[in-house]
Amino acid sequence: MFAGCAPVTSPVRIGDKWTAKIIRCLQDGPRRYSELKVPLTGITPKVLTESLRSMERDGLVTRTAYPGIPPKVVYELSPLGHSLVEPLDTMCAWSRANLPKVLSARDAYDVG
């Protein structure tokens, strides 16, 4: 059944709460840390930092630090990160098209 799937020792976390949103924020170009916090309503500084580090480790994001006072750090999608934009577009379109069905199924399940 899963013979065509690559073995994964530690899964890439693209389905967590923030990764897809961060990809969306970076898809149009580089942003500073403070510029990412604005559209990511509700994310804590700790979680944003952890998410960016994890994405950098997975090769989805690059981090560039520029010398100066104050220091300037810019994040941008790597080519690997950019390769996720189209699949995310597809997932978002599917979600928009099927949200009423999902909500209906949840209601039916919750009623019992």
- What is the reported pLDDT for 112? 80
pLDDT digits (tens, 9 = 90+) for 43-102: 999 999 999 999 999 999 999 999 999 889 999 999 999 999 999 999 999 999 999 999
Separation in Å, CA 95 to CA 11, 77, 92, 99: 23, 23, 5, 6
Q: Above 90 in pLDDT, residue 24?
A: yes
| Domain coordinates in residue numbering, the chain | 19-111
pTM: 0.82
CATH number among 3.50.50.60, 3.90.1010.10, 1.10.10.10, 3.30.565.10, domain 19-111 = 1.10.10.10
